[in-house]
Structure 1
């Protein structure tokens, strides 16, 4: 029997005065975190919640999120974290789909959650600084089987309504143990992130790993590069985690930052999306800091592969399977592919989810009877066994019968000195079936035009991979973790008659 609360209980007993959380000027020791979370659990029990009840949690990356999350775990309930930008309709959908018994929302957010809860006649609480609760006795921690659901994280997907991935007690504890092992985390480490804790990367790979190792976790409620650099210096971070757009933002808005600021940083972790090689190379050249890329999904509790600290980062690759997990690339017949051959990535191990909430057919389609999870990602290994993610299967562009991997085209675009962000997608085309389109955010003040972009890619790619539709935007749409959201791009608009600035179509 176990609880996701176990690591905090352990460190609160052994090193009670060690700092567990930092949020701006606020600091929480392990004793304070344990006691506040235990009080929160007591308040949940006094409200009438029972083990297994689902609790919606909507808060930014502040220490109080951790208190409420761990309080939910200590009460034996199931945390259902969602995006702080969720609309009333989105919150209402999750409340209803998960069958939540309570909704908790940060005081600084709008009324969407409270209104959604009221519409479904679900009680709601407001989470405020310090995470105070009515005076109730702290109840004993509810221990549970490791295969019981501890959290439900809703995956946005590309089609249909979001599905709730059930992460178990064992999933989350294993993610913390493996994550700490990969980064060689210890109580001496000071980890910092601007990732949202309601997302699996921040919640499992960062929060759980830090608390498992007994280190301290510095949180940014809202990411911006200047604040991240300030936190790096102020808290003397030894581990920092982010998604590619965050590392890119720091690189392009680094001001007076220099290698000395990064001298104490042992590990810089990137995940959530493929890290363009140009960003990794530029970051190392500018700051002397190697960014280690990893790969995982919500359904695998954020873990899959990671670049080994001793070997250093291999640009373009996400490393080998992390301890305790197995990773294979398979062809359409289910056979393991030889190195250099593209196939679908499969993952097996203690972090693979229990299944999708109330969706047995989707669960059966995603997880084989022997426990292998189909990721839906295309990848290939090299002769060293390192994995390279090529693209999502659903993002693959088939132009005139030829496969075009958007990630390959984006890598070339990021190499251009005036391109800050890029997204490549397929749009319907009467002649080729799909045409290659590129949306580009150029460096401020740049006079970059479509012809230059076309010539740049044509010199570096086969003709069928060259974007024929090129549009410039101020910025690309992003999700809560900072990942570029290609599904938010209007393909219908791009497929219309050529607009000014598009490259004339060249058949062939």
Structure 2
């Protein structure tokens, strides 16, 4: 009999090693909460706070949310959407997203999460690849769809607007502002175009009778596309029901029916969807929706007034709160627990946030392909600096060799050895949509998911990310881990944000470049930053270049996109070479050079 995994010794009291996964469709989470807490507010959207205690807001109870999603399921059935067909959701965080999400599941459809900022080209790829037959979107997004709809299988378009759930006169007032921003548009009537609110009014709350099995695919979650063309992870009822039930005991001080979860992370991203929306619904808590996660002032007000208790986010969000000039004006002490993901959580950011809120902020880890959470630090137990934490219940993480042996298997490594992290658990996806070859590259014959992340495990079972394979910088033969350099940059008192990337260099192959955003009102020089790094890093790790920026390129969930920084450098160097070829009497910087 093998010994139990070493990480179990560091679980908080009451957290089980394994969980029993109910064989239910995912939408049953809503059905059960509507039965237990019918009159509790399930979803609340706050657009703006007004004087005299007023607010521009809307809310649904669990009974209302259950009924509206039943109506939407009936509407989809009436539009001819059959079980197994795909319905795309291209919405910011709104109550309508939650209604459409659970309604599509009740209709037996497969949801396709779509980033609302996609260009027509990106939208065409995702809709054509998924074969979506219907899409729910803001009217202001319709023109992007109109440009490419004929190259897709989309037959039914369902439009809604941010202001649709508001009451008069706020609906009219907000509508004017949203129209000015281009979020509301007039779309000419057509047989294939419908209004969501009209569909909900027209149909009874009698969803079609469907058979939904645990292993049925219910969600296509497209990966970020950082390593090529975006591909869709097929997530099943079992995958998502498992991940929610794995998270519930991790929050050891959870109070069912009483939590107030901040829905600032985009729901179209798997992290915001699972750890925000699904988690809130499963607990019978109130999901307080913020459509714009970049409005830090508004988020501070929401936490203060709505008494938010759980705030899933990314480091950039917590950094923005820590450094907001008015943060001391708000009482944020209602925050009990925050799970951070999407990027490495700097120690300084976590420490400062906990000082402000008196809550706990811990780093976790996951992927779209794992629904997403695979590991997390104990919220009230022992945390390890720089660690992604412990595998959550019913999950094992292994560190394996980077290359398979002669039998095709990967050797499992011991504590302290660096290798690729692989995930074993019920949350691991079924595979990539229509890409069996790609699936075979990441899911081995044991069913383990190969993450592409290089990491290690310590003697106590805590895991650490060394870095992505593709992000490793090889400068003059030395391996440089970007995260290590970034941690040092975050230690500088003037630095707000930082990213490090390897850029092409004719002498070193690659060289280390730092991109730095300074705190408001601060100034610094390149020499100052490099001198600070020299104090804390070996010489070969010190950035040879430092570029100051007002902001860093990020994904919708705040993850810095190093690939865009590298691509900018490649384009810049190519332009310099082209200019030099066109005028050999000048060097790449346009300076005159000596010629014979």
Give the distance between the partners of 1:403 and 1:457, measured in 2 at CA.
Answer: 17
The alpha-carbon distance between structure 1 residues 65 and 141, as it changes in their structure 2 partners (threshold 3 A), is farther
The answer to whether 1:328 aligns with 2:350 is no
Give the distance between the partners of 2:112 and 2:68, measured in 1 at CA.
Answer: 20
Aligned to 1:504: none
Give the distance between the partners of 1:385 and 1:114, measured in 2 at CA.
Answer: 52
The answer to whether 1:96 aligns with 2:163 is no
The answer to whether 1:2 aligns with 2:19 is no
Alignment of 1:359-374 (within 5 A): 359-374=435-450
Q: Is the 8 A contact 2:314 2:558 kept in 1?
A: yes
Q: Which runs of 5+ in 1 are unaligned?
A: 501-508
Alignment of 1:280-295 (within 5 A): 280-295=350-365
How many corresponding residue pairs?
Answer: 499
Aligned to 1:132: 197
Aligned to 2:239: 171
2:497 to 390, 400, 421: 421
Higher mean C-alpha displacement, 452-461 vs 374-383:
374-383
Give the distance between the partners of 1:383 and 1:254, measured in 2 at CA.
Answer: 42
Alignment of 1:65-76 (within 5 A): 65-76=97-108
Alignment of 1:172-187 (within 5 A): 172-184=240-252, 185=254, 186-187=256-257
Helix, strand or coil for the counterpart of 1:269?
strand
Give the distance between the partners of 2:225 and 2:134, measured in 1 at CA.
Answer: 25
Give the distance between the partners of 2:269 and 2:64, measured in 1 at CA.
Answer: 24
Q: Is the 8 A contact 2:321 2:327 kept in 1?
A: no
Higher mean C-alpha displacement, 271-280 vs 181-190:
181-190
Give the distance between the partners of 2:136 and 2:32, measured in 1 at CA.
Answer: 27
Give the distance between the partners of 1:332 and 1:181, measured in 2 at CA.
Answer: 33
Give the distance between the partners of 2:473 and 2:369, measured in 1 at CA.
Answer: 25
Q: Is the 8 A contact 2:234 2:433 kept in 1?
A: yes
The alpha-carbon distance between structure 1 residues 121 and 374, as it changes in their structure 2 partners (threshold 3 A), is closer
Deviations 1:183-215 (A, max 9, x none): 243221111131000001001122111111211
Aligned to 1:159: 227
Aligned to 2:259: 189
Following TM superposition, by how much is the alpha carbon of 1:115 offset from its aligned partner in structure 2, in angstroms? 3.4
Q: Is the 8 A contact 1:421 1:441 kept in 2?
A: yes
Following TM superposition, by how much is the alpha carbon of 1:341 offset from its aligned partner in structure 2, in angstroms? 2.5
Aligned to 1:43: 75
1:412 to 488, 503, 509: 488
2:328 to 253, 257, 275: 257
Q: Which has the larger radius of gyration?
A: 2
1:27 to 48, 55, 59: 59
Helix, strand or coil for the counterpart of 1:388?
strand
The alpha-carbon distance between structure 1 residues 132 and 312, as it changes in their structure 2 partners (threshold 3 A), is farther
Alignment of 1:166-245 (within 5 A): 166-184=234-252, 185=254, 186-223=256-293, 224-245=295-316
The answer to whether 1:376 aligns with 2:441 is no
Q: Is the 8 A contact 2:360 2:380 kept in 1?
A: no
Give the distance between the partners of 1:47 and 1:114, measured in 2 at CA.
Answer: 20
Following TM superposition, by how much is the alpha carbon of 1:119 offset from its aligned partner in structure 2, in angstroms? 4.5
Following TM superposition, by how much is the alpha carbon of 1:111 offset from its aligned partner in structure 2, in angstroms? 2.0
Following TM superposition, by how much is the alpha carbon of 1:15 offset from its aligned partner in structure 2, in angstroms? 1.8
Deviations 1:323-354 (A, max 9, x none): 11111122224223332222211101111011
Give the distance between the partners of 1:495 and 1:470, measured in 2 at CA.
Answer: 16
Aligned to 1:462: 538
Q: Is the 8 A contact 1:324 1:350 kept in 2?
A: yes
The alpha-carbon distance between structure 1 residues 361 and 69, as it changes in their structure 2 partners (threshold 3 A), is same
Give the distance between the partners of 2:67 and 2:159, measured in 1 at CA.
Answer: 19
Helix, strand or coil for the counterpart of 1:311?
coil
1:319 to 384, 389, 393: 389
Give the distance between the partners of 2:327 and 2:281, measured in 1 at CA.
Answer: 32
Q: Is the 8 A contact 1:469 1:494 kept in 2?
A: no
2:513 to 437, 440, 443: 437
Following TM superposition, by how much is the alpha carbon of 1:385 offset from its aligned partner in structure 2, in angstroms? 1.1
Following TM superposition, by how much is the alpha carbon of 1:499 offset from its aligned partner in structure 2, in angstroms? 10
Alignment of 1:295-306 (within 5 A): 295-306=365-376
State the 4+ residue runs in structure 1 displaced beyond 4 angstroms.
493-500
For normalisation by structure 2, the TM-score amounts to: 0.80
Deviations 1:405-441 (A, max 9, x none): 1000000001101111111011112222111111111
The alpha-carbon distance between structure 1 residues 183 and 106, as it changes in their structure 2 partners (threshold 3 A), is farther
The alpha-carbon distance between structure 1 residues 190 and 452, as it changes in their structure 2 partners (threshold 3 A), is same
Following TM superposition, by how much is the alpha carbon of 1:383 offset from its aligned partner in structure 2, in angstroms? 2.0
Aligned to 1:450: 526
Higher mean C-alpha displacement, 96-105 vs 138-147:
138-147
For normalisation by structure 1, the TM-score amounts to: 0.94
2:319 to 216, 240, 248: 248
Q: Is the 8 A contact 2:37 2:257 kept in 1?
A: no
Give the distance between the partners of 2:399 and 2:469, measured in 1 at CA.
Answer: 13
Q: Is the 8 A contact 2:86 2:112 kept in 1?
A: yes
